[in-house]
Amino acid sequence: MNEHESKLVLKERPTLADLQQYVKEMEIERGFDHESVLQQCLLLGEEVGELYKAIRKTQGVKMDVTVAESNIGHEMADVLIYLCALANRYGIDLEEMFRKKEAINKTRTWN
């Protein structure tokens, strides 16, 4: 293993909490742990844009033909990484918040 290879290992079938912890450790290892919330928000927005671009391309929506090939799955993973990073900065347990929000959503009327 060279000095630039990560020593982090994400366990098989991770929980959302495992993903958040992995992102926390990954940011420390790569020196991203001091980036501000604003920087993280801007990067998340950039990744969401890349996801939209990848979806546009697969749906055959007209776009610049020089746009590099992108992978929807990779872009979704990038979005998840930045979402976890932001949650970590605010001390938010995403699984807990998901459960709380879904409990609220279940009481709503959807049509």
Instruction: Please report, for the domain that includes residue 67, its CATH number.
Output: 1.10.287.1080
* Residue 36 binned pLDDT confidence (cut-offs 50, 70, 90): very high
Structure tokens that stand for 31 in this block: 């020196």
In a domain, 9, yes or no: no
What 3-state class would DSSP assign to 67?
coil
In a domain, 87, yes or no: yes
What average pLDDT score do residues 97-101 get? 96
Cα Rg of the chain, angstroms: 17
Q: Give the domain extent around 79.
A: 16-106
Cα(111)–Cα(102) distance, integer angstroms: 17
What average pLDDT score do residues 89-100 get? 96
* Maximum average pLDDT range among 1-10, 46-55, 78-87: 78-87
What average pLDDT score do residues 61-82 get? 86
User: Domain tally for the chain?
Assistant: 1
